[in-house]
Structure 1
Amino acid sequence: MTTFCSLLVALALLTPANAQPVASYACRANTKFGQHTLSLRQGVDATAPATVRPNTRFTIAVDPQPGTLPSEVKGFKLQEVRDLALRIPVPANTSYVSAQLTGGSGLNSSPSVQLDGNVAVVKVAGPIPGGAGYQLPTLSVRLKSGRRGTTVETKLKGTSYDDPGLTFQAKIKWKFITITAPVACYPDPNPALTRTSVQ
């Protein structure tokens, strides 16, 4: 069902072409028609101090850029996207202090952030309707630096389809059939978004 895969490609958390940097996700959708792989692109800005002293509190911020979902692709109607979760690991050589969300629009729900193990998870219940514009909130994580002589890197979560950093549910309609497809994604490649030297 190649057109279904084409639809999911178009679902790619769409962002302006000039958004820098761009996170590239390898994704897999599980449907009753089988599994389909696809690539998604998400513009994201991230900030952190260049240097910090040991045992000092500091903040990293991850700011996803605005996007627009398609309303229809190749005869498939995208009804909505729900239950989106974006995961950001707490960097090595730091300890977690707190996290908060600011901004965001077009989400039709109040986003939340919680710590799951050593990962900050941003959750958006939605639904975000097909054809709608939206922006995920900025995630600010307060950390405490570790030992001197190390580098703290902000990265996205995920190493495989079974260890995803981004998940969501896509509900689509084709003729008289409505399909809800769970989609699991991991960043590929996964370069550091920020680097902070502990001096």
Structure 2
Amino acid sequence: MATHRSLLVLGAAVLPLIFGVPAAGAQPAAQPAASYACRADTKFGKHLLSLRQGVDAKAPTTVKPNHRFSITVDLKPGQLPTEVKSFKLKEVRDLSLRVPIPPNTSYVSAALTGGSGLNSTPSVRLDGRTAIITVAGPIPGGAAYQLPSLTVRLKAGRRGAVVETRLQGTSYDAPGLTLTAKIKWKFVTLTAPVNCYPNPNPALTRTTIR
């Protein structure tokens, strides 16, 4: 079993959100850090931010045809800010993260383990060939939390194929990560939907079927 670790750091323009973003890695390699481009839609307009997060992920480097194997993603703990500039972050809720089932595999199962400070029980479900992790929350501003670890069980396809895992999402209008943030500005409390997509979106795991 090979391990890849990527250290990701948040950078936000207007709405600072810090939370774990599952990503997966198969083997040590020099590659771009996974990151999300996000857009928060508020009554005062649309605000852009970038979001990154540290993860530890494991997957086998090789697997035999028709054999089962797992990709496991362990997320680092985080803490939401209470305020940045003139915005107060009151809570984050209804987080959904989408992870495509890689080509050259068939889905067997997915499971979540651990997690804390989420004020809800996270769930994972399959929609077509996409695993969707949902955290209802709410996670209050300033709170420490940890998202659960995700394990996806897969069945390898044909010999010679390479299984690549990528995050889902291609634009703000076709996101792979969504959430709702409640923020306060002066005497006004706003509910802002946030849509994110991975940019860039390199292959984060590679498993050769042989």
- Equivalent residue number for residue 72 of structure 2: 61
Give me the whole-angstrom Cα distance separating, in 1, the residues matched to 2:198 and 2:115.
22
The runs of 5 or more residues in structure 2 that have no matched partner are 1-11, 22-27
Give me the whole-angstrom Cα distance separating, in 1, the residues matched to 2:194 and 2:122.
19
How many equivalent pairs are there? 190
Contact 1:163 1:186 in 2 (8 A): yes
Give me the whole-angstrom Cα distance separating, in 2, the residues matched to 1:190 and 1:49.
21
- Equivalent residue number for residue 181 of structure 1: 192
Offset, 1:61: 1.1
Contact 1:154 1:194 in 2 (8 A): yes
Give 2:19's match in structure 1, choosing from 9, 13, 35.
13
Give 2:103's match in structure 1, choosing from 84, 88, 92.
92
The runs of 5 or more residues in structure 1 that have no matched partner are none
- Equivalent residue number for residue 165 of structure 1: 176
- Equivalent residue number for residue 33 of structure 1: 44
Contact 1:86 1:166 in 2 (8 A): yes
Contact 1:71 1:131 in 2 (8 A): yes
Q: Provide runs of 4+ in structure 1 moved above 4 Å.
A: none
Contact 1:85 1:123 in 2 (8 A): yes
Give me the whole-angstrom Cα distance separating, in 2, the residues matched to 1:130 and 1:22.
26
Give me the whole-angstrom Cα distance separating, in 2, the residues matched to 1:135 and 1:23.
19
* Deviation sequence 1:35-55 (CA, Å, 0-9, x none): 111111121222111110001
Q: Does 1:105 align with 2:116?
A: yes
Offset, 1:124: 0.2
Find the residue that maps to 1:99 and give its secondary structure.
strand
- Higher percent of residues as helix: 1
